[in-house]
Amino acid sequence: MLDFIDFTGKTVLVTGGTRGVGRGIARAFLDAGAGVAVCGRHEPDPEELPRSKHSTTALFVRADLRDPEQAAAAVDTAAAELGSIDVLVNNAGGSPPRAAAESSPRFVSAVVELNLLAPFWCAQAANAIMQRQSQGGSIVNIGSVSGQRQSPGTAIYGAAKAGLSNLTKSLAVEWAPKVRVNCVVAGLLGTEAAEEHYGGAERIRAVAASVPLGRLGTPADVAAMCLFLASPFAGYVTGADFVLHGGDGRPAFMLAVEGDGK
């Protein structure tokens, strides 16, 4: 991890920070010396909470972030317990695959609420606190390459992530200069849910082989970018998308040509 970045005395809230990428992000900030709170709908067992190499454990705040009042309360609770909110990482999100033609109004609303509206509710509450702080604050949204290209099978998710990228740019202008807002656009990631998502270890290896860097991204990769964007090293960076995809994948026309043996 970025050992030269020190967050001692800083406070961080990571949404969806109890597993997967969010857990990795929370642990990275803990390792860097920050006080960290994580939130989610279901309280994990105490031993499952993110823990640093120094045995510091994250604070858990229970909330359904799709509800504006619960989202604001989660941010306020974290700030009250930690003493401030210097960094918000909007990580909570995701969607099961669903064909667009078969997506019900309830499903569509739930995906948009989780991946676009919940980050806004949290950011809005965090901004209110950060604007009152002499040091301001930093908000990092976790986006997806699905919001920058076709996303068949997860069209609503892709549209919501595209909206999150645009929201990042707009908030960065509205809330400057006290609050910086940036977005990490994540590509294919290997987490505990990857095998189920991609369909087994063999398919994971095939997907990883399609990435120019030869592997899936990790929670540590995303966490490192979050540390950088929230740090003074990115003090002149706001309203930016940082694409983290290992070079993305081979273009479809190349796969078609290679499939013909040419």
Number of structural domains the chain divides into = 1
**What tokens appear for 223 in the block?**
């966490």
- 255: in domain: no
State the average pLDDT over residues 112-129. Answer: 98
**Cα separation of 12 and 17, whole Å?**
11
**Cα separation of 163 and 136, whole Å?**
25
Task: Cite the DSSP H helix spans in 41-92.
Answer: 68-82
Residue for token digits 């006290």? 178
Q: What CA–CA distances, in Å, run from 138 to 104, 152, 207, 232?
A: 36, 33, 33, 10
Question: Of 42, 55, 34, 46, nearest to 16 (Cα)?
Answer: 42
- 5: in domain: no
Domain that holds residue 127: 11-246
Please state, rounded to an integer, the average pLDDT across all residues of the chain.
90
| Coarse DSSP helix, strand, coil percentages of the chain, rounded to the nearest 5 percent | 45, 15, 40
More confident residue, 96 or 209: 96
CB contact set of 55 (below 8 Å; sequence gap of 6+): none
**What tokens appear for 213 in the block?**
């860097």
Which amino acid, one-letter code, is at 73?
A: A
Q: What is the CATH number of the domain that holds 79?
A: 3.40.50.720
Pairing assessment for the beta strands 137-144 and 179-186 based on DSSP bridges = parallel
More confident residue, 85 or 4: 85
pTM of the model: 0.91
- 150: in domain: yes
Question: Are the C-beta atoms of 126 and 13 separated by less than 8 Å?
Answer: yes
What's the pLDDT score for residue 216? 85
What's the pLDDT score for residue 111? 97
Q: Which helix (H) or strand (E) element contains residue 61?
A: strand 59-62
- 1: in domain: no
**Cα separation of 4 and 160, whole Å?**
34
- 260: in domain: no
Using one digit for the tens of pLDDT, what is the confidence trace for 195-223? 656 666 777 787 777 788 888 888 999 99
Question: Are the C-beta atoms of 61 and 79 separated by less than 8 Å?
Answer: no
Q: What residues pair up with 189 in beta bridges, in sequence order?
A: 217
- 128: in domain: yes
Q: Taking 50 as the threshold, does the pLDDT of residue 122 lie above it?
A: yes
- 124: in domain: yes
Catalytic machinery residues:
157
- 261: in domain: no
What's the pLDDT score for residue 9? 95
State the average pLDDT over residues 72-83. Answer: 97
Using one digit for the tens of pLDDT, what is the confidence trace for 145-190? 999 998 999 999 999 999 999 999 999 999 999 999 999 998 777 7
Across 19-23, 75-79, 81-85, 157-161, least confident range: 19-23
What's the pLDDT score for residue 208? 79
